[in-house]
Chain A
């Protein structure tokens, strides 16, 4: 299938891009660089393979990457990047998935209500909430929640990830953006669907209002919503960088920021690639899913 090839090409381009970026970054990863003599510096560089011509480094890197070896982290004394990512990824994954699930459920419900009661107070209320959700920067919200629930009211822990109650604030902070986007989209789709002829037909059949809403309207409105799952994943990734930082959650997000500060190139590259891989795969899955769920596409033999 063509799309798998595209996926791989895209990923390769991403790897190339991150590699080039690394080369352009100022500074070197060695601490106290100015205290080393030029010979020591050269030795270190040689040890890490940093003194070979760039194209050679590139080929080494890609070759290793395809074997799952993303190099060693400078920050952590050459511990394999892949291993470190492997440890931290599940945490971020956990946070991300929880946020998407919670966000999607509430977003869909909110969108249905707003779409069905278009133009009423309920609609404006729901729309307003979703605008708030989209606009208030996640870190502002997170900080605010930390202050209110953590410091002032002392009912929720403000950092780390050690148990269920630690999940509440970060997931909510991350999910708010999801809720807002999904709700807005769902509302538009609902309004569109509700005005369709087949809904009138359904009502003319004497079907109960509940069935008309859920079996007909919602089901049809839900389909296009799947298409935003791709960009949504990207947004969650972005958001997690922020949230993990604020709530000191030991996931990939905080690691990324750390590696930036410490100039840990392999780590930065590896994380970027991981994120990209995730995103590319997600977009791919969404494409396929959409074709499967909508019978018009499924049975017409694709686009």
Chain B
């Protein structure tokens, strides 16, 4: 399977009055055709920034790609001008955002908003665009599309709005869809509906998806591969099975442990102690060292290399080094352990 999108050693920084904040520090990602890749991490880990950098949507003038590249269709997106990127956005790579309540223009009918992206990238007549918009609304499960096309966003519920947003994103049949926490702002039942919709559409259109989330439940539901980010770096990546059943990085262990379980023996929720690192002054070693229960001297001094457990499973951790003591993952998450 070929890679449809590659992120190579990407470094993104923000200039603030406090100095330079290094939000993304050497991220490597690949996305294959038709697959769903989940990027998991806490707030501030750099996951959103990475995807904005792919789309060229970093806030100007503060955000900059300092080095590295994003290869799509044999072109490095970070080297393209905004005008060139505009041709790609919405038509070849689309993005949907977290809060459906504020992501649509409140003074434009949703019909116009869908037609806008169609007419921007395709040379079709107004009627054709309108018909396509109606088609799309049906596709994402909105009843009465001919009527609703004339309505305004505030006349739709949150879940409906997110469906509209998905419709807009898929209007021009993009190769890649980037979804930045698409269900976080929705009720749990609606979440499930939206995820099902996305899975369904993915099967129909074979679009590759990059899914950003902090919810491991969503990951289990939708993704084939997972990349775990922390402190601006990817600290573990693998297939869904590998990450859930054979995690190797203490941070991943922490994430899995903090998933609330219904029938667990413990009555307390587990939380990783400490707070994320300050990226205006990033630690020189592993970003997780300050909070890691297995930290060693080397962890605070040097950033670990990636070791490969398999073709698909890579971990950036000194515990993988042969000189390190052998450490078992916590009981809670071992197979057959607590659940």
6 A-B pairs with C-beta separation under 8 A: A197-B97, A201-B105, A203-B89, A220-B107, A295-B107, A300-B154
Residue A196 at the chain B interface, CB threshold 8 Å: yes
Residue A60 at the chain B interface, CB threshold 8 Å: no
CB-based contact A204/B107 at 8 Å? no
A 196-230 binary contact with B (CB < 8 Å = 1; else 0)? 11101111111111000000100110010000000
CB-based contact A206/B99 at 8 Å? no
A156 to B155 CA separation, bound complex (whole angstroms): 56
B residues less than 8 Å from A300 (CB atoms):
154
Contact A207:B90 (CB < 8 A) given known A200-B97, A296-B152, A299-B155: yes
Q: How far is the CB of A121 from chain B (nearest CB, A)?
A: 13
Q: How far is the CB of A207 from chain B (nearest CB, A)?
A: 6
A residues less than 8 Å from B155 (CB atoms):
299
A residues less than 8 Å from B91 (CB atoms):
206
CB-based contact B154/A204 at 8 Å? no
A203 to B85 CA separation, bound complex (whole angstroms): 10
A295 to B88 CA separation, bound complex (whole angstroms): 32
Contact A299:B152 (CB < 8 A) given known A197-B103, A200-B97, A204-B90: yes
B residues less than 8 Å from A296 (CB atoms):
106-107, 152, 154
Residue B296 at the chain A interface, CB threshold 8 Å: no
B residues less than 8 Å from A192 (CB atoms):
none
CB-based contact A196/B90 at 8 Å? no
Partner of A206, one of B88, B105, B107, B154: B88
CB-based contact B57/A204 at 8 Å? yes
Contact A205:B168 (CB < 8 A) given known A197-B97, A200-B57, A296-B152: yes
CB-based contact A294/B107 at 8 Å? yes
Residue B317 at the chain A interface, CB threshold 8 Å: no
Q: How far is the CB of A208 from chain B (nearest CB, A)?
A: 6
> Residue of A at shortest CB range from B56?
A203
Which of A219, A223, A296 has the most C-beta atoms of chain B within 10 angstroms of its own C-beta?
A296
CB-based contact B116/A205 at 8 Å? yes
A201 to B152 CA separation, bound complex (whole angstroms): 16
A residues less than 8 Å from B108 (CB atoms):
216
Interface members, chain B 163-218 (any A CB < 8 Å)? 165, 168
CB-based contact A205/B152 at 8 Å? no
Residue B10 at the chain A interface, CB threshold 8 Å: no
CB-based contact B116/A198 at 8 Å? no
DSSP majority for the A interface?
A: helix
A105 to B82 CA separation, bound complex (whole angstroms): 29
> Residue of A at shortest CB range from B112?
A215
Residue B148 at the chain A interface, CB threshold 8 Å: no
B residues less than 8 Å from A196 (CB atoms):
102
A139 to B99 CA separation, bound complex (whole angstroms): 51
> Residue of B at shortest CB range from A297?
B154
Residue B55 at the chain A interface, CB threshold 8 Å: yes
A196 to B105 CA separation, bound complex (whole angstroms): 9
Contact A198:B106 (CB < 8 A) given known A204-B57, A204-B90, A208-B86: yes
Nearest 5 A/B pairs, CB to CB = A206-B90, A206-B89, A205-B90, A197-B102, A205-B117
CB-based contact A201/B154 at 8 Å? no
A206 to B103 CA separation, bound complex (whole angstroms): 15
Interface members, chain B 48-101 (any A CB < 8 Å)? 55, 57, 82-83, 85-91, 94-95, 97, 99
Residue B120 at the chain A interface, CB threshold 8 Å: yes
B residues less than 8 Å from A201 (CB atoms):
97, 103-105, 165, 168
B 291-332 binary contact with A (CB < 8 Å = 1; else 0)? 000000000000000000000000000000000000000000
A216 to B90 CA separation, bound complex (whole angstroms): 16
> Residue of B at shortest CB range from A300?
B154
A247 to B97 CA separation, bound complex (whole angstroms): 57
Q: How far is the CB of B308 from chain A (nearest CB, A)?
A: 34
Residue B121 at the chain A interface, CB threshold 8 Å: yes
> Residue of B at shortest CB range from A298?
B152
CB-based contact B57/A203 at 8 Å? yes
> Residue of B at shortest CB range from A207?
B120
